[in-house]
Structure 1
């Protein structure tokens, strides 16, 4: 939503319009020239027919040469050069009808490319059309309409029925949101007072207020739009690989063409080889299949930043996955309260949550939320202070208290109480201890459980070709094993800091392509180090989303398994199209070199092959 982005968006339609007009002009010229030439030939005027066919070919050839020059300046070498050679050679030897057929089929192939790309990218480009331009903001007791760029955190916005949320924020009241454009969820989701809502969702219920949490440029939807633009500009490695093959294919074509001419003494055979080797739209089969796969993945709530990421997703060998927030919900819940003699469980939770009101730590927020859920009345502690990452100390009702983990409370407890504390903690549980006046009042046991269906999702990934699954976590090994022990993981690496995760990814890459999935800031370096980085985009850190190649817009990993199946199928279809298309072209070239195909026949045969492989690539749009 920056000026640079606006400039790119403004320039893109102009370039698209020029290309569209050029394609229309090429089709009109080629079709008109071919039709007039056939009419003249039918009335016995072959001289006029040759002129008409030549006149129809030259504009197409000029446009094609211009595109080739631009591509070469950009470092791209494609099979369109073969098409230009075929048209030029056919004109030089007087095979003007063959040249006209090639020109028409080339122009038609460009139109088919535009149709295929437009259909394949429909779901992704639709995001750009939904970007809101203005918002309704409360200011001095009145409402005003402002550009979304003017929104700052803390602004209170009125979201009408049908509005697209312009920024991330907090719901004031209640809201019913359609998040299908972001996550693929078919049903609206309800958001209660104080819950967060993502920009880009649509209000399908009554009007409500939204308190902006981010500026428009930093919100979820703006990031998604930027990623879509990057994806649209990206070119898949398979497409680049196909372009590199073009050099070898052209060398074989020219060698076979010259050999046929030298051995037979007939230049027409050389032209026939060039004509039948003109796979104008053939090479488009790869990007069409890849873009189609990206479109289908977007519909499942998986945003793939580029064709290269989708192609890599289709050949992953090893999955390295974080635990907290990825395999688990990332939010610990209270599973048990152990009260010391003379203490009540509810009172232990009330006092611990009262102290934890001073902290923004995830565990503290979870305790406060649990106390509210149980309708406990909290009080604000006096003389409170937080020891970052460890616990909170303060005074309630004149009694000194502290709440936190074992390390934080250990110095305040007698040896026998510390031993009792250690004995009460089961494997995999997180402990929060409450100490009142130097005595252990009780323990609150918490655990972060696995996401629903995560075991089935990992099993499905194995069925799709992932041979090794490794857990990489900063938690203790006993905690990690207690939570993930039933998942059948191949290895568990625990007590890791960010650099340890990077090193683990590096070691795993020796055995094949590695995909790293994580959600926290500490996962970002490993996401970059992996062949493919995947971030949990619903509640994950912005740093991990920025570093990742793929963003999961739905909560959970099931969408990633869907995207993996889509990627493998798209890659398989693209390879099928290339292998079959080039194989049939090769057979046609041999037949032309032996004199069994005239230039016109070769042109018609090759274009039938090209159309067939592009239609095959479009199968990637349909469910398997």
Structure 2
């Protein structure tokens, strides 16, 4: 509502001042200079009063803004009879404010469009019928119907054979993705194919999209540190402007030169270009699936020198995949996977569920077992096709067989070995591992090329596992077997080398994310606590988007600084020219406002930033072919 009112006020002031300028010019051309002066003054006064009210409000808040220069220039122009110059300043000032508001609105468009996509209800299966229910009534386990064109209201998994989803609003991916049964679905994705069933895994308030909306709202309310820097040094600029204006008047005896100096200095490009460029950067980063929680983190991200990475779910995929299948006796490798995954359907253990998902992804049809008996955390037994089977860790299967079995992959390097016994005989092993994300080496090289000098791994896992996973990556240090408080200590210690960025996804990473200059959370599958503690959230499960976010931050800041340096430089040159008598007040006003328009348009270049997007990881859903 406040933004709406301000936009309407800016539009109204621009209309009044522009009307006054045009009508006054008509009277002046008609040979009625007195009437023209009165009309120009009438067009200036509403703008001046609104400006004075804004200045008073800022002073009450302890802020000294550069708008004081604009008020001084209009007041001085009216006082010394330069009513045309005052009218030009009023039009250009209100026009600059209107253009700034328009530019920021355009820059916020991509982030604000997320808010417009929030669904209000969902279609739920219940007792054989479909009910339209409010989002807050959805519970984990509910089965929802997602029609073509619907937005997924909560996080969940595909409960149909397949689904085709448009995730462009969340991740920036231009093509729809094809998901199979049990694949994870982020709330906020749009169904681009036939209707499918979604099994809810979170309540609406805890889902990805709800968190994104909260973060977007917080980001839109933030104020850029560079903008605060403008406020901090506005008093210095104000004093310099007044000194130059007074000196021009003192040494020449011509007050009109002082008026010209004041109008050239109004308003300063620093308060226009910086917020536009940084808000545009926030919008552009969100387009590529990188949600930055405001302009302050955007600027901090651009200055990062040290990167600390968590391992599980960050540097690695966080989901075990099959790296080897070994068969013994009469069973083939495919049959070992078939029986092990079929029996593991009866277990909720993460390794069992990962094995089942991997088998289904390979197209294996899994029969459901009978006579299941699970020993929590160790393994499960049952019957399939009349054959007695056991699947689990080597110790569990050894106990079932009454003999000792082992595997050289178990334990030291992070692999998990699942053993399968059939009818009292060892039938095979399935070796699984949490593998390094594809393209990690290329990503780290890209980050180093953008100014990150130190890259470290911080993990609670064993050192042997950490070293095996990171072999060949060229990390500056590997810190293993760390507790959450030790991760915080590592972050604080590394600050001596410059600003630190911490990337993680688990609850245990939240303290370190909060302690770092920039905390980055893997928001697609990470814990809610880490997303809340972080300054940046990667909305898609691609670590390579870290490079995209860094590039957007650095280039947005560079564009903002370019606009400021060029704008201030031209303003100072114009003030000196006005003090020496080379610019009249009207010419000075036109020159300054031309500078303001130029720096705003330059700041909008941030909306066209196209950062590097590396190749997708193998765990990403396969893209559907365009129709």
TM superposition score normalised by structure 2: 0.88
CA-CA distance at 1:106 after TM superposition: 0.4
The answer on 1:126 being equivalent to 2:116 is no
Please, which runs of 5 or more residues in structure 2 have no aligned partner? 611-627
Does the 8 Å CA contact 1:472/1:492 hold for their aligned counterparts?
Answer: yes
The answer on 1:556 being equivalent to 2:546 is no
CA-CA distance at 1:351 after TM superposition: 7.9
Partner residue of 1:432? 417
Alignment partner of 2:440 out of 439, 454, 464? 454
> Alpha carbons of 1:375 and 1:131: their partners in 2 closer, same or farther (altered >3 Å)?
closer
Partner residue of 1:91? 78
The answer on 1:30 being equivalent to 2:17 is yes
> Alpha carbons of 1:307 and 1:51: their partners in 2 closer, same or farther (altered >3 Å)?
same
Partner-residue secondary structure (3-state), 2:464:
helix
Partner-residue secondary structure (3-state), 2:376:
strand
Does the 8 Å CA contact 2:260/2:584 hold for their aligned counterparts?
Answer: yes
Partner residue of 1:332? 320
CA-CA distance at 1:360 after TM superposition: 3.5
Does the 8 Å CA contact 2:286/2:292 hold for their aligned counterparts?
Answer: yes
Q: Quick one: distance in 2 between partners of 1:69 and 1:367?
A: 66
Instruction: Report which stretch shifted further, 32-41 or 396-405.
Output: 396-405
CA-CA distance at 1:288 after TM superposition: 0.6
Alignment partner of 1:495 out of 481, 506, 526? 481
Q: Number of residues paired by the alignment?
A: 604
Does the 8 Å CA contact 2:272/2:596 hold for their aligned counterparts?
Answer: no
Could you give the per-residue CA deviations for residues 462-481 of structure 1, whole angstroms, max 9, x where no partner exists? 11111111111122222122
Alignment partner of 2:158 out of 171, 174, 188? 171
CA-CA distance at 1:264 after TM superposition: 2.8
Partner residue of 1:11? none
Could you give the per-residue CA deviations for residues 236-256 of structure 1, whole angstroms, max 9, x where no partner exists? 211211221212111211222
Q: Quick one: distance in 1 between partners of 2:180 and 2:331?
A: 34
CA-CA distance at 1:451 after TM superposition: 1.6
The answer on 1:234 being equivalent to 2:219 is no
Does the 8 Å CA contact 1:86/1:271 hold for their aligned counterparts?
Answer: yes
Partner-residue secondary structure (3-state), 2:10:
helix
Does the 8 Å CA contact 1:318/1:514 hold for their aligned counterparts?
Answer: yes
CA-CA distance at 1:194 after TM superposition: 2.8
Q: Quick one: distance in 2 between partners of 1:410 and 1:259?
A: 94
Does the 8 Å CA contact 2:74/2:90 hold for their aligned counterparts?
Answer: yes
Instruction: Report which stretch shifted further, 94-103 or 168-177.
Output: 168-177
Partner-residue secondary structure (3-state), 1:145:
strand
The answer on 1:142 being equivalent to 2:132 is no
CA-CA distance at 1:438 after TM superposition: 13
Partner-residue secondary structure (3-state), 1:517:
strand
CA-CA distance at 1:215 after TM superposition: 2.5
> Alpha carbons of 1:617 and 1:136: their partners in 2 closer, same or farther (altered >3 Å)?
same
Could you give the per-residue CA deviations for residues 451-504 of structure 1, whole angstroms, max 9, x where no partner exists? 221211111111111111111112222212222212121111111121121111
Does the 8 Å CA contact 2:170/2:289 hold for their aligned counterparts?
Answer: yes
Partner-residue secondary structure (3-state), 1:582:
helix
CA-CA distance at 1:596 after TM superposition: 2.6
Partner residue of 1:313? 301
Q: Quick one: distance in 1 between partners of 2:525 and 2:575?
A: 56
Q: Matches of residues 40-189 of structure 1 in structure 2 within 5 Å?
A: 40-173=27-160, 174-189=162-177
Q: Quick one: distance in 2 between partners of 1:135 and 1:41?
A: 65
The answer on 1:221 being equivalent to 2:209 is yes
Does the 8 Å CA contact 1:357/1:380 hold for their aligned counterparts?
Answer: no
RMSD: 3.1
Q: Quick one: distance in 2 between partners of 1:68 and 1:150?
A: 48
TM superposition score normalised by structure 1: 0.88
Instruction: Report which stretch shifted further, 430-439 or 310-319.
Output: 430-439
> Alpha carbons of 1:128 and 1:527: their partners in 2 closer, same or farther (altered >3 Å)?
same
Q: Quick one: distance in 1 between partners of 2:462 and 2:391?
A: 24
> Alpha carbons of 1:296 and 1:404: their partners in 2 closer, same or farther (altered >3 Å)?
same
> Alpha carbons of 1:34 and 1:446: their partners in 2 closer, same or farther (altered >3 Å)?
same
Partner residue of 1:385? 375
Partner residue of 1:589? 575
CA-CA distance at 1:189 after TM superposition: 1.4
Q: Quick one: distance in 1 between partners of 2:380 and 2:197?
A: 36
Instruction: Report which stretch shifted further, 290-299 or 347-356.
Output: 347-356
CA-CA distance at 1:278 after TM superposition: 0.8
> Alpha carbons of 1:93 and 1:483: their partners in 2 closer, same or farther (altered >3 Å)?
same
Q: Quick one: distance in 1 between partners of 2:182 and 2:13?
A: 58
Q: Quick one: distance in 1 between partners of 2:116 and 2:461?
A: 43
Please, which runs of 5 or more residues in structure 1 have no aligned partner? 1-13
Q: Quick one: distance in 1 between partners of 2:598 and 2:83?
A: 25
Q: Matches of residues 266-277 of structure 1 in structure 2 within 5 Å?
A: 266-277=254-265
Partner-residue secondary structure (3-state), 1:586:
helix
Does the 8 Å CA contact 2:347/2:374 hold for their aligned counterparts?
Answer: no
CA-CA distance at 1:594 after TM superposition: 2.6
Partner residue of 2:506? 520
Alignment partner of 2:516 out of 510, 527, 530? 530
> Alpha carbons of 1:135 and 1:280: their partners in 2 closer, same or farther (altered >3 Å)?
same
Q: Quick one: distance in 2 between partners of 1:522 and 1:380?
A: 38
Q: Quick one: distance in 2 between partners of 1:156 and 1:409?
A: 36
Alignment partner of 2:450 out of 452, 464, 477? 464
Could you give the per-residue CA deviations for residues 61-103 of structure 1, whole angstroms, max 9, x where no partner exists? 1111222233334444321121111111221222212111110
Q: Quick one: distance in 1 between partners of 2:526 and 2:335?
A: 34
Partner-residue secondary structure (3-state), 2:202:
coil
The answer on 1:622 being equivalent to 2:608 is yes
> Alpha carbons of 1:402 and 1:216: their partners in 2 closer, same or farther (altered >3 Å)?
closer
Partner residue of 1:200? 188
Partner-residue secondary structure (3-state), 1:336:
strand
Alignment partner of 2:472 out of 480, 483, 486? 486
Q: Quick one: distance in 1 between partners of 2:401 and 2:513?
A: 42
Q: Quick one: distance in 2 between partners of 1:230 and 1:244?
A: 23
Partner residue of 1:5? none
CA-CA distance at 1:607 after TM superposition: 0.9
Partner-residue secondary structure (3-state), 2:307:
strand
